[in-house]
């Protein structure tokens, strides 16, 4: 019987490990097409994947589709896809507010790994979803509804903060009940330095970003609501301190919305995005599990995100003769690592719960079947664990830069120094203007510039006529002298 069990277990592990593509592998073709400049092919490839799947309302695939459509300047179609994803996140929000235990019940995930759990979206992805919807509406000229999306973003952040605090506490409590302490120092072999990076530690949390709040300030300002614009700019500074571009947003607000605003100049905001959000990679970690017969080592998969040493830098952009300073306001590689840092105690707690359950199975097999049983137990453990959950919104940019300044209306040459294919003509006009740009290694995509409001007509210059010369007074004419009488004829 035992010789039969081994090949049977081997078939089980091979079946479990084969034919289950990761999210990153599913998206690879679309990402490659986008990078080389074939955005239409990228969209077609993703559409084919969605059409082949059973769930047309899949959260992650609709997030990816919405982002590709935005890059392709199909803002209405992008909004449609993002609204499908947003309905999923709204369901999560409602459950998080009214029945959080239903979401926390997934903590158990006893035998299968985290990839078997329902994907809820990373917290920063939930925030960026409503931000992206607001940006699409801005491109469609609908600032009023963009304002609604911005308000929803703030409400979503509050729900996330409350729920994550509860979830972490429950995960740690459940792990403690199982007798396993949650401590990242116990993850021997895990590259913990990726999460202890100073840039990661500087972030306040793993879901709020400066772009979302700066954009909120800009929209409220454009809608002539400076009282609401100020908190947006202030929060952006709090999230990314010591950036002059962000500080000027708040410092110059009164002047821009008051009498000090340059009358015939356009306030132009450039949003330059580069690359793609990072991928999660899987790393096997040996996990010690206490049993009645001593410690058993179980192998588990943990997600890892590595920093990108070749990420784009942008210190300025050129607009005709103007050089405008640019600043990095959001780095989604750093945010993803901060989110993973916050998530790691929960991941470890769930792994601990699974480890205890699988350790008991392995221990029983050791006792009943001897060495064969231990081997089979190891195979079954590996088969049911698989790779770490790599699901993330890869279509998001890796980095976001902004530049802003007053520019006289007219046509200019826009150029990003050092970036390929980044020159184009830009017609500046309107009271406010938003210019979206997406940069990849071999391709730069220019979004549709948005003109908000109109400038007052420039006063026509008054041309003063030269004074007419005063005619010289006419001299009075003397009366003609009477002709002298002709000399009398001599008689």
- Please report where in the chains the tokens 């359950």 appear, as a residue: 357
Tell me the two tokens of residue 94. Answer: 């409602």
CB atoms within 10 A of CB 253: 20
**Among 221, 199, 219, which residue's Cα sits nearest to residue 211?**
219
Please check whether residue 474 lies inside any domain of the structure. Answer: no
How far is Cα 319 from Cα 349, in angstroms, rounded to an integer?
52
Residue 443 in domain: yes
pLDDT at 245: 95
Residue pair 203/381 in contact (Cβ under 8 Å)? The answer is no
Calculate Rg over the CA atoms of the chain.
34
Q: Is residue 461 part of a domain?
A: no
Residue 315 located in a structural domain:
yes
Which residues are within 8 A (CB) of 413 and not within 5 positions of it... i.e. 6 or more apart? 318, 319, 320, 423, 424, 425, 426
* CATH of residue 225: 1.25.40.10
Q: Name the strands in the sheet holding 322-325, side by side, starting at the edge strand that comes first in the sequence.
A: 322-325, 316-319, 410-415, 424-428
pLDDT, one tens digit per residue, over 153-163 is 999 999 999 99
d(CA 87, CA 84): 5
DSSP string, 45-98: HHHHHHHHSS-TT-HHHHHHHHHHHHHTT-HHHHHHHHHHHHHHHHHHHHHHHH
As a whole number of angstroms, the distance between CA 386 and CA 15 comes to: 11
Q: What pLDDT does 106 receive?
A: 54
Measured CA to CA, the distance from residue 229 to residue 127 in angstroms comes to 18
For the segment 441-486, what is each residue's pLDDT rounded down to a tens digit?
A: 889 999 999 999 999 887 555 455 555 555 555 555 555 555 444 4
- Specify if 478 maps to a domain: no
Per-residue pLDDT tens over the stretch 78-125: 999 999 999 999 999 999 999 888 777 654 444 556 666 788 999 999
Cα(27)–Cα(394) distance, integer angstroms? 8
Assigned domain for 390 exists: yes
- Residue 458 in any domain: the answer is no
Residues in the chain where the model's pLDDT stays below 50: 1-19, 107-110, 462, 483-491
Cα–Cα distance between 331 and 199 in angstroms, integer? 9
Extended beta strands in 365-483, E state: 399-407, 410-415, 424-428, 432-439, 444-446, 450-452
- Domain count of the fold of the chain: 1
Residue 397 domain-assigned (yes or no): yes
pLDDT at position 301: 82
* Domain that residue 312 falls in: 2-452
Residue 377 · residue 367 · CB < 8 Å: no
Beta bridge partners, 287, equal 298
254 phi, psi to nearest 5 deg? -60, -40
Q: How much is the pLDDT for 418?
A: 87
**Burial letters 22-56, b for 16+ CB under 10 A, else e:** bbbebbeebbebbbebebeebbebbeebbeeeeee
pLDDT of residue 321: 94
């Amino acid at each position: 019987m035992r010789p039969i069990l081994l090949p049977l277990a081997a078939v089980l592990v091979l079946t479990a490990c084969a034919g289950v593509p990761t999210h990153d592998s599913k998206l690879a073709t679309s990402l490659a097409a986008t990078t080389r400049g074939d955005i239409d092919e990228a969209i077609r490839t993703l559409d084919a994947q969605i059409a082949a799947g059973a769930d047309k309302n899949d959260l992650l695939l609709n997030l990816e589709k919405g982002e590709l459509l935005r890059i392709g300047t199909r803002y209405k179609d992008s909004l449609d896809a993002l609204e499908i994803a947003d309905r999923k996140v709204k369901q999560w929000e409602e459950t998080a507010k009214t029945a959080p235990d239903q979401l926390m019940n997934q903590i158990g995930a006893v035998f299968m790994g985290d990839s078997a759990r329902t994907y809820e979206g990373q917290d920063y992805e939930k925030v960026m979803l409503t931000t992206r919807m607001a940006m699409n509406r801005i491109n469609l000229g609908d600032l009023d509804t963009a304002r609604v999306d911005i308000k929803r973003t703030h409400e979503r952040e509050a729900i996330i903060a409350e729920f994550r605090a509860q979830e972490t506490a429950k995960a740690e409590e459940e792990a403690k009940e199982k007798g396993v302490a949650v401590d990242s120092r116990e993850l021997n072999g895990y590259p913990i330095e990726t999460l202890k990076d100073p840039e990661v530690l500087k972030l306040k949390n793993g879901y709020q970003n400066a772009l979302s709040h700066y954009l909120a300030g800009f929209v409220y300002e454009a809608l002539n609501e400076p009282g609401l614009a100020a908190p947006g700019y202030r929060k952006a500074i709090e999230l990314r301190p010591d950036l002059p571009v962000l500080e000027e947003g708040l410092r110059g607000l009164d002047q821009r919305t008051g009498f000090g605003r340059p009358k015939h100049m356009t306030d132009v905001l450039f949003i330059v995005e580069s690359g793609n959000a990072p991928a999660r990679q899987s790393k096997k970690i040996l996990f010690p599990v206490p049993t009645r017969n001593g410690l058993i080592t179980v192998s588990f998969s943990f997600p890892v995100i590595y920093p990108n040493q070749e990420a784009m830098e942008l210190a300025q952009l050129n607009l005709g003769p103007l050089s405008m300073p640019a600043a990095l306001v959001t780095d989604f590689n750093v945010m993803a690592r901060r989110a993973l840092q916050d998530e790691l105690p929960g991941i470890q707690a769930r792994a601990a719960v699974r480890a205890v359950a699988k350790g008991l199975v392995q221990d029983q097999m050791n006792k009943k079947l001897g060495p064969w049983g231990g081997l089979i137990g190891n195979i079954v453990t590996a088969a049911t664990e698989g790779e770490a959950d790599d699901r993330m919104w890869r279509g998001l940019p890796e980095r976001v830069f902004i530049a802003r300044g007053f520019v006289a209306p007219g046509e200019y040459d826009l150029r990003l120094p050092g970036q390929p294919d980044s020159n184009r003509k830009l017609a500046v006009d309107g009271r406010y203007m938003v210019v979206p740009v997406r940069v990849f290694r071999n391709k730069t995509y220019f979004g549709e510039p948005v003109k908000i409001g109109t400038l007052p007509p420039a006063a026509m210059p008054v041309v003063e006529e030269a004074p007419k010369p005063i005619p010289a007074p006419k001299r009075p004419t003397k009366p003609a002298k009477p002709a002298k009488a002709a000399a009398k004829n001599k008689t």
